[in-house]
Amino acid sequence: MSSSKNAIVVGASSGIGAAFARTLASQGYRVALLARRIPELEKVQRGIETGWGEGRARVYENDVCDYEAPPALLAKIEEDMGKVSLFCYAAGVMAEVGKDEYDFAKDKKVLDVNLTGAMAWLDEVATRFQARGEGTIVGISSIAGDRGRRAFPSYHAAKAGLSTFLESLRNRLFQHGVQVTTIKPGFIDTPMTRGMDGLFWLKTADEAAQMIWKAVRRGRSTAYVPARWGLVSLVIRSIPSLLFKRLDI
Ligand SMILES: NC(=O)c1ccc[n+]([C@@H]2O[C@H](COP(=O)([O-])OP(=O)(O)OC[C@H]3O[C@@H](n4cnc5c(N)ncnc54)[C@H](OP(=O)(O)O)[C@@H]3O)[C@@H](O)[C@H]2O)c1
């Protein structure tokens, strides 16, 4: 990993992104915290500065659906903080969809935030990191992208797209000394999952962030969080379509 310890977390105002920003701060990083809700970002910033000192976190407003923003914002962050060596894309949304509902507006929103917004950032970061011959990219995808279940069609599709995009980046950037780690969480207790039924093996966002950091430090390509979800995925991926379409999962 690079010697410069500046990081960007996109989607740092709550849940996994906020927890991962705290974990990075605990590892000596200065962190740029990005999202839309400034008051929430400032809370995360205060927590980091209380724990690890003044100037350890900076807040930047960013709507990931503003696809033109990343080049200028990345340049501004590097002007403020110095060279960024770790980039994490954690922004994500999940839309409630009824069993018999097919709603393009909802689907588009999910794609816009989880996939297109990620590409807009990742293309810019990949360009910089490749030119420098170093850097670490962390993408928070999901086990939900491993198979198209009935529950959330566009979320499954967006996360499948993100996982595949990250794999392509990894395969391109490996030869340039850049690490790309794909994180596939199971159920994590965050505002996204609060109130959902049927959750099990629930981990806190802070527990997930520790596991994510461990995977990044070990140079993992893909990590399920926690690891046991990798076995679940193996089982789910091995179910033939003939049977899968009959299962209410
Ligand atoms: N919780 C789980 O069980 C679970 C499981 C698998 C994968 N994941 C993934 O983990 C990631 C983090 O989710 P979470 O569970 O921590 O949920 P969360 O607490 O709701 O966090 C979502 C984050 O995404 C940001 N975001 C949403 N729309 C945005 C936009 N248009 N522009 C910029 N930022 C935006 C939010 O910030 P603002 O609203 O302030 O903009 C927030 O910081 C997501 O990618 C999610 O899909 C979560």
The tens digit of pLDDT for each residue in 119-128 reads: 999 999 999 9
Rounded distance from Cα 126 to ligand 1 centre (Å): 22
Query: Contact 85/134 with Cβ under 8 angstroms?
Result: yes
Task: Tell whether domain 6-244 is in CATH 1.10.10.60.
Answer: no
Tell me, using a 6 A CB cutoff, whether residue 92 lines ligand 1: yes
Tokens of 9: 């977390």
Using 50, 70 and 90 to split pLDDT, how confident is the model at 142?
Answer: very high
Stretch 66-78: mean pLDDT? 98
Which residues is 86 bridged to in the sheet? Answer: 7, 136
What pLDDT score does 91 carry?
A: 99
3-state SS class at 117 = helix
pTM: 0.98
Q: If you measure from the C-alpha of residue 14 to the centroid of ligand 1, how many angstroms do you get, rounded to a whole number? A: 7
pLDDT tens track for 179-224: 999 999 999 999 999 999 889 999 999 999 999 999 999 999 999 9
Average pLDDT over residues 49-67: 98
Residue type, 61: E
Q: Is 192 in the pocket of ligand 1 (CB under 6 A)?
A: yes
Question: Would you say residue 2 has pLDDT above 70?
Answer: no
Please choose, from the candidates 161, 150, 50, 54, the residue with its C-alpha nearest in 3D space to the C-alpha of residue 101. 150
Tracing tokens 């207790």 back to the chain, one arrives at: 189
Nearest-atom number in ligand 1 for the CA of 64 is 32
Instruction: Quote the pLDDT of residue 1.
Output: 64
> Which of 38, 119, 140, 154 gets mutated to test ligand 1 (max ligand atoms within 8 A of its CB)?
140
- Residue spans per domain, the chain: 6-244
Cβ neighbours of residue 241 closer than 8 Å, sequence gap 6 or more: none
**Dist. CA 91 → ligand 1 center (Å):** 4
Give the number of residues written for the chain: 249
193 lines ligand 1 (CB under 6 A): yes
Which residues are known catalytic residues? 155
Mean pLDDT of 54-80: 98
